[in-house]
């Protein structure tokens, strides 16, 4: 049976599960195959309309060209797509994920990025052409990942070349995903008693007042001007104060008091019906946007002639029947958090201006607000003075009163600083494994080969033999670092965002450089720069005994690299099992960069088979750091396979942060820039050093 786009729609969501397939290949599939293709996705979106669509994605990948077509289709959907990874989004599926306006992952899911792969049955020229085509595809797709994550294209290319997996937390940190998807547990439908019904009436009245006092730039209701001759009177046409009435003793709604036009007019009746429908839809709009009301709910009230005054109780009854937590109705939170909502909107606007990112819709009304404008709004001052002294007084009042302006400023700076920090890609992260430190104590590490070997099962009893699991003796820990930063009075009063942006840029890059210096100071420490001494061997990481250091220094060549590769391939675990470690990174200093490039990227065709450059296949990437000041060069395995070193941050912190120490004073505002960072050596098996020549 031929599949249709409607087959992908389950429970109102677009479910993309299985193999990513081209339209052409989909025509040759078996009935039991699980797949999706661009034409099915387009048909499904057409059937779902132009509103926001929730996409549930679980795929190991497939055709990358089809994946890009699906990504572009989802990205171009008028209402935007909220994509939730449920399981995995690997290969082409991770590319599809980039098409979401909102990208989320469930707690137990993962994503994987790698270079596009293919096969070809052709001669040498055809194979070379295919390799060039794959290189082109990799760069094109890397641009897509880079645009959505804020990373540099070269950094994404390195991620793809290493075939990198990300958990939800790691994907959020690097920018590939926006948030962890909220997992909702089904609960019994609440019973609506008289107490709850009364509370709901009170809540809808509160929320109506909230919508009336809406944020700038948005309009839900008619202006509060007197009605024109022949039209509706002002209390009916323009106000929401009486949308809910107090129940009478018989517990029946009191009919609303509606003023009618002085002279009956057929046109007025038409206008009155239009106004009723408009008020119903305006009242339902925020709940529909939140997914708590549907178009069918609104249409039912429009069709049965429900008065606007009575619509609130009916809407609330519908929502309460679907509410998962009747003890804390969400409408109460909305009314109570209006101040918080505006603060977050200003925070988003300031963050967008400081980081150069696109603001959310709720933040757009505040994009033109200066720092002093925001401070004045937070302390309830309607008019912002023009002279320096008066504007400085506004700032001083905002910093020293009970307003939340200091929190707004600190959060916006930290969000912008985190964005700049994530853009930095120090080379040490390509050879060291990342971990999270729960506290400042020493943390042990599980290394490659620590897990026991499988043992034969007794064929008679079925008994399993016990293996031994050796815990690593190596320990690493995170340390706290910090420095004070002063923002001058002039910088804040004059709204010098360029100056603040420069500080954030400098500090974000400076923290990444600090991490780089700290890591390499550890890596090349000890005698002859051979690294820290490991507890397991009582020897430095790089030494001739463990064959992690070349006995004879040599320049970078096919012969010397072959020795390095062979050394890694022959590595054994603690229980003497061959690890078959694959070399992934050639790390050099600036003095050896050109020499390394000539070997890794040489494209000259050899006249003899013995002259073939075996390292010109892209399997070994190049890393360069100025921390290596001599001819020394290293070969490392991927940190996901066999890391020699690890680095990490303190749990709960994914970037450096500013903390306000002193509020606005004579000299300005003093912040402390704080960062918790740790790194250390954990094994010797994934590395190789040559002193160079």
For residue 679, pLDDT over 60 is answered with yes
- The verdict on 170 and 210 lying in the same domain is no
631 domain-assigned: yes
State the pLDDT at residue 41: 95
383 domain-assigned: no
- The verdict on 582 and 495 lying in the same domain is yes
Q: pLDDT: is 259 or 140 the higher one?
A: 140
For residue 674, pLDDT over 70 is answered with yes
DSSP 528: G
For residue 556, pLDDT over 60 is answered with yes
State the pLDDT at residue 247: 43
- State whether residue 40 is helix, strand or coil: helix
- The verdict on 128 and 155 lying in the same domain is yes
Distance CA 464, CA 458 (A): 7
- The verdict on 597 and 466 lying in the same domain is yes
pLDDT-wise least confident of 36-50, 340-354, 443-457: 443-457
pLDDT-wise least confident of 171-175, 435-439, 450-454, 582-586: 450-454
375 domain-assigned: no
379 domain-assigned: no
Which tens digit of pLDDT belongs to each residue from 509-550? 889 999 999 999 999 999 999 999 998 889 999 999 999 999
Q: pLDDT: is 42 or 611 the higher one?
A: 42
pLDDT-wise least confident of 292-296, 523-527, 626-630: 292-296
For residue 606, pLDDT over 60 is answered with no
Residues of the chain above pLDDT 90, percent: 34
- The verdict on 130 and 198 lying in the same domain is no
Q: pLDDT: is 597 or 289 the higher one?
A: 597
- State whether residue 38 is helix, strand or coil: helix
State the pLDDT at residue 424: 83
124 domain-assigned: yes
Residues linked to residue 648 through DSSP beta bridges, in sequence order: 435, 678
Provide the CA 276 distance to its chain's centre, in angstroms. 42
One DSSP character per residue, 390-459 reads HHHHHHHHHHHSS-SHHHHHHHHHHHHHHHHHHH---GGGGTEEEEEESSSS-EE---TT-SPPP-PPPT
Give the sign of the dihedral formed by CA 637, CA 177, CA 169, CA 94. Answer: negative
The dihedral formed by the CA atoms of 365, 366, 368 and 373, expressed in degrees to the nearest 10: 140
677 domain-assigned: yes
For residue 216, pLDDT over 50 is answered with no
What's the number of domains the chain is made of?
3
Q: Is 167 exposed, middle or buried (0-12, 13-18, 19+ CB in 10 A)?
A: middle
- The verdict on 134 and 166 lying in the same domain is yes
Distance CA 89, CA 16 (A): 10
For residue 188, pLDDT over 60 is answered with no
Q: Which of 336, 358, 384 is the last residue of a domain?
A: 336
State the pLDDT at residue 450: 53
DSSP 644: S
State the pLDDT at residue 260: 47
- The verdict on 246 and 149 lying in the same domain is no
Q: Which of 313, 336, 359 is the last residue of a domain?
A: 336
- Which residue carries 């000041």 as its tokens? 629
State the pLDDT at residue 69: 93
For helices 295-303 and 266-289, give the axis angle rounded to 10 degrees: 160
For residue 78, pLDDT over 50 is answered with yes
Of 204, 186, 191, nearest to 320 (Cα)? 191
Q: Are 542 and 683 in contact (CB under 8 A)?
A: no
For residue 127, pLDDT over 90 is answered with no
Which tens digit of pLDDT belongs to each residue from 480-514? 998 887 777 777 777 666 677 777 777 788 899 99
- The verdict on 171 and 287 lying in the same domain is no
Task: Please tell me the pTM assigned to this model.
Answer: 0.48
Residue 127's domain comprises 5-180
Average pLDDT over residues 70-79: 92
- The verdict on 621 and 647 lying in the same domain is yes
> Rg of the chain's alpha carbons, rounded to an integer?
32
- The domain that holds 675 is classified in CATH as 3.90.1690
385 domain-assigned: no
Strand boundaries in 29-178, DSSP class E: 35-36, 53-62, 81-90, 102-105, 110-113, 164-167
Q: Is 464 exposed, middle or buried (0-12, 13-18, 19+ CB in 10 A)?
A: exposed
Residue 412 pLDDT level (bands cut at 50, 70, 90) = confident
- The verdict on 150 and 233 lying in the same domain is no
578 domain-assigned: yes
State the pLDDT at residue 171: 93
For residue 156, pLDDT over 50 is answered with yes
Phi first, then psi: give them for residue 344, nearest 5 degrees. Answer: -65, -35
For residue 236, pLDDT over 60 is answered with no
Of 169, 133, 657, 153, nearest to 419 (Cα)? 657
- Which residue carries 């730039």 as its tokens? 217
**What's the whole-number average pLDDT of the chain?**
78
End-to-end, the C-alpha distance of the chain in Å comes to: 67
State the pLDDT at residue 189: 46
State the pLDDT at residue 245: 37
- The verdict on 206 and 165 lying in the same domain is no
For residue 18, pLDDT over 70 is answered with yes
Q: Which of 180, 211, 241 is the last residue of a domain?
A: 180
Distance CA 218, CA 495 (A): 26
Distance CA 598, CA 596 (A): 5
- The verdict on 509 and 479 lying in the same domain is yes
Please, what's the b/e burial string for 607-633 (b: 16 or more CB within 10 A of its CB; e: otherwise)? eeeeeeeebeeeebbebbbebbeebbb
One DSSP character per residue, 332-385 reads HHHHHTHHHHHHHHHHHHHHHHHHTPPPPGGGGGGTT--HHHHHHHHTT--S--
Average pLDDT over residues 647-655: 90
């Amino acid at each position: 049976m031929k599949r249709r786009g409607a087959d992908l729609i389950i429970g109102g969501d677009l479910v993309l599960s299985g193999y990513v397939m081209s339209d052409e290949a989909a025509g040759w599939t078996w009935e039991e195959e699980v797949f999706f293709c661009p034409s099915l996705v387009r048909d499904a979106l057409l059937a779902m309309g132009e509103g926001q669509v929730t996409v549930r994605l679980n795929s190991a990948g497939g055709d990358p060209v089809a994946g890009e077509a699906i990504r572009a289709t989802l990205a171009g959907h008028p209402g935007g797509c909220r994509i939730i990874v449920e399981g995995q989004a690997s290969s082409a599926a991770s590319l599809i994920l980039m098409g979401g306006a909102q990208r989320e992952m469930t707690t137990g899911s993962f994503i994987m990025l790698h270079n596009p792969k293919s096969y070809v049955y052709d001669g040498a020229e055809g194979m070379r052409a295919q390799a060039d085509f794959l290189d082109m595809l990799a760069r094109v797709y890397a641009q897509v990942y880079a645009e959505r994550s804020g990373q540099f294209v070269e950094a994404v290319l390195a991620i793809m070349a290493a075939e990198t997996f990300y958990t939800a937390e790691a994907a959020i940190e690097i920018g590939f995903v926006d948030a962890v998807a909220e997992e909702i547990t089904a609960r019994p439908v609440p019973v609506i008693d008289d107490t709850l019904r009364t509370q709901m009436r009170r809540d809808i009245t509160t929320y109506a007042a909230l919508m009336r006092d809406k944020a700038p730039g948005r309009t839900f209701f008619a202006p509060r001007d007197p009605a024109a001759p022949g039209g509706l009177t002002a209390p009916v046409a323009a106000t929401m104060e009486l949308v809910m009435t107090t129940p009478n003793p018989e517990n029946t709604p009191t009919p609303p008091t509606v003023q009618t036009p002085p002279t009956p007019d057929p046109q007025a009746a038409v206008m009155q019906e239009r106004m009723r429908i408009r008020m119903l839809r305006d009242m339902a709009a925020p709940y529909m946007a939140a997914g708590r009301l549907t178009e069918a709910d609104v249409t039912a009230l429009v069709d049965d002639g429900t008065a606007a005054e009575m619509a609130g109780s009916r809407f609330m009854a519908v929502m309460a029947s679907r509410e998962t937590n009747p003890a804390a109705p969400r409408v109460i939170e909305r009314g109570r958090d209006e101040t918080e909502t505006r603060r977050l909107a200003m925070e988003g606007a300031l963050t967008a201006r400081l980081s150069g990112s696109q603001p959310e819709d709720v933040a757009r009304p505040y994009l033109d607000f200066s720092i002093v404008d925001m401070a004045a709004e937070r302390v309830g001052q309607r008019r912002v003075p023009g002279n320096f002294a008066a504007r400085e007084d506004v700032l001083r009042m905002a910093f020293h009163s009970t307003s939340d302006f200091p929190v707004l400023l600190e959060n916006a700076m930290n969000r912008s600083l985190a964005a700049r920090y994530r853009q930095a890609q120090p080379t040490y992260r390509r050879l060291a494994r990342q971990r999270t430190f729960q506290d400042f104590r020493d943390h042990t590490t599980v290394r490659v080969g620590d897990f026991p070997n499988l043992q034969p099962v007794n064929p008679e009893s079925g008994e399993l033999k016990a293996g031994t699991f050796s815990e690593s003796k190596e320990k690493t820990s995170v340390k706290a670092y910090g420095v004070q930063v002063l923002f001058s009075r002039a910088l804040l009063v004059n709204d010098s965002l360029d100056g603040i942006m420069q500080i954030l840029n400098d500090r974000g890059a400076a923290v990444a450089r600090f991490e780089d210096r700290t890591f390499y100071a550890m890596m090349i420490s000890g005698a002859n720069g051979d690294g820290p001494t490991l507890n397991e061997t009582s020897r430095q990481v790089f030494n001739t005994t463990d064959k992690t250091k070349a006995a004879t220094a040599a320049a970078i060549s096919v012969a010397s690299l072959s020795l390095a590769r062979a050394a890694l391939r022959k590595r054994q675990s603690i229980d003497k099992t061959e690890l078959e470690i694959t070399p992934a990174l050639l790390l050099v200093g600036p003095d050896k960069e050109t020499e390394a490039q000539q070997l890794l990227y040489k494209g000259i065709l050899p006249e003899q088979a013995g002259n073939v450059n075996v390292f010109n296949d892209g399997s070994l990437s190049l890393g360069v750091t100025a921390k290596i000041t001599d001819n020394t060069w290293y070969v490392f395995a991927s940190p996901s396979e066999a890391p020699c070193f690890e680095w990490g941050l303190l749990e709960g912190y994914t970037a450096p942060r500013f903390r306000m120490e002193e509020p606005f004073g004579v000299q300005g505002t003093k912040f402390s820039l704080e960062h918790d960072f740790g790194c250390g050596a954990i094994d010797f098996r994934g590395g190789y050093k040559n002193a160079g020549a």
